[in-house]
Every structure is written in structure tokens, then in C-alpha cells.
Amino acid sequence: MKILITGGAGYVGSELVPSLIKKNHKITVLDLMIYGDDVLEKSPNLTTYKGDIRDKDLLKKILPGHDAVIHLACISNDPSYELNPTLGKSINLDAFEPLVQISKKNKIRRFIYASSSSVYGIKKEKNVHEDMSLEPLTDYSRFKGDCEKILLNYRDQDFCPIVLRPATVCGYSRRQRLDVVVNILTNLAYHKRVITVYGGDQLRPNLHIKDMVRAYEFFLNLSSEKVCGKTYNVGIENYKVSELADFVKDEIGEDIKIEKKKSDDNRSYHISSEKIKNELNFKFEFSIKDAIRDLRLAFENKTLKNSLNNEKYFNLKRMKNIDLK
């Protein structure tokens, strides 16, 4: 299969691309390469474009001949988006429908969209499932929901749209992020031997990056009859932030000190992934403890250098220091 992956040099993309290449797919990556253009190893089955998804002429040039699109590219997370809401909207929302239209015109048969579990907002119900209303708290999350609706409107017998709503991804990646909760706690515990938990009872849905990769591969291979026009949550576990801190301590060392402080933000987010498990028999294979262990090994092996300060590991820091318009 020939697959275009937007954002293919990002946190998830940089793990997904080599995995698909190993399975003999031909991959095209379109990415701004904000965090470096050296994360993807060269391969005869890999073509990379340093470019912008807002560039319609570039999309018209590279999309012909592909079978599928996995759309990962976005200004990721609320703080980075809020640095420049106009920029964020232009990439996260305005560029989306033209990408879908050009994909469909060029006979792309399958389009997988990386939405977010944050589209639900805060729910009191124990099991937050795909049929529940979307009540996003931020523009970042709202635009994710808007793009879902846009994409599903283009469904027909020749164009198969699929929406995934991932939990917060964690673990080691070739393009590492250390600004998501499990990775933050692990980084601080390993290097500072102290982690601070604000509140602690807030729930957070999480997902090992290897299972995120497996999910994208899984949806490439399923029959259209099973998945076209459907939406799936993807997240293995909902844990309290205090529980995540305890997992980190168990893995990094009993000498780790956990400091607890009051928080003004006690919002909890949680999702149910029963649909993907029961309807499609998808099995999650990696735990949050596995993600912590993978990060520990990366620190021990000096794979992640200067991990407390290097801006390439922190989306907000990097976005502040580039001139993207």
C-alpha cells in the first residue's frame, strides 16, 4: 500500500513510519520538520517532503498514486495552539477540508484522521463512549471535533473515512516529547529524583505509543464494511495522576520523592475503549509501566540528551522560538 502520512516526522509519526516500512508499505511523509529532519532513516520506500499541509499545490503534486492518508499533522496541544490561535486555526481546521477534497479527487480510498479524546470535554459518566456529545473546552479540541464532521460528510463507496480519538500518548519515540504527563513525571523523576503532583485525583486517559502505532496499522488493514464512517476511542487505561506518579516511582526508584500540592484545576478526563475491543477485537499490548520503562532505558543509554532543557522535546518551547506563519 502507498500511504501519505502528514506529520510523519512527529512524535507518533516517527514511530509509525518505520513500522509501516518494515511491513513493505511505500510511505510519503509531509511535515514541516519543526523538530528536525533527521528522525526518519532513509529508505527506498520512503519519500519525504518538507512542506506545509496548507499548500494546496503541493498536495495536488504529491497525493496522486496513493492508496491511503493518515492525517497526524497539527499544532499539537492547547498551549502551543494558544500561542498563535490564527496560525493554529489555519493548520488545524482551515487546511483540513482542502486536504480531504484533494485526497478524494485523487482517488484516495482510505483516510484515517487523528482526532483526540479531548473532544468530549469533562464527563461525569464512568464510561465515556463514542456516541456521547462533544463538549470541548478549548479551540484545539473544538477544531478536532469540527474536522471529524467535515471528514465523515465525504464518505461514499469509494472513499472510506475513519476517525480515531486517541488518549494521551506516552513512551519513547525517535522524535521524543517530554511535555505529556507520563513523560514529564518520568523525566523529572529520573533526573531530579523529585516529582510534584498537583491535586492527584484527576483522571487521565493514556496510551502507549506502540499501541497507537499498532492501531493505525490495524485500521489500514480492516475491511471497509467494518470501519468506514466510524469513530473509535483508543486508550488503554484511565489512571489518577497520583497513580501515574506511583508507577513512575516503582520503575525509576524507591528514592523518588513525590510532593503533593493543591491544584485549582481538578478536572478529570477519561474514555472507554470498549468499542474498539469488542467490535473489532483490537487488543492493547503495552502498559503505561512499559512506557515508563522505555523512557528510563532511553535516559540510561543517553539517547535523550539534555532532556530537562532541550527545547526539541517540548512543543511549546520550540513553537515560541520559530517564525511559523
pLDDT in tens, 259-312: 999 988 777 889 999 999 999 999 999 999 999 999 999 999 999 999 999 999
At 27, phi and psi to the nearest 5?
-120, 135
Q: How far apart are CA 65 and CA 223, in angstroms?
A: 20
What's the pLDDT tens digit per position in 242-268?
999 999 999 999 999 999 999 887 778
Structural domains counted in the chain: 1
User: What is the domain-level CATH number for residue 102?
Assistant: 3.40.50.720
Residue 255 belongs to a domain: yes
Picking from 76, 11, 68, 14, the residue whose alpha carbon sits closest to that of residue 207 is 11
What's the pLDDT tens digit per position in 313-323?
999 999 999 98
Residue 81: pLDDT band by 50, 70, 90 thresholds?
Answer: confident
What's the pLDDT tens digit per position in 59-79?
999 999 999 999 999 998 788
Residue 325 belongs to a domain: no
- Residue 32 sits in which domain range? 2-320
What's the pLDDT tens digit per position in 148-188?
999 999 999 999 999 999 999 999 999 999 999 999 999 99
Grid cell listed for 153: 460528510
Residue 18 belongs to a domain: yes
Residue 6 belongs to a domain: yes
Residue 309 belongs to a domain: yes
Residue 203 belongs to a domain: yes
pLDDT on residue 290? 98
At 296, phi and psi to the nearest 5?
-60, -45
Residue 209 belongs to a domain: yes
Residue 224 belongs to a domain: yes
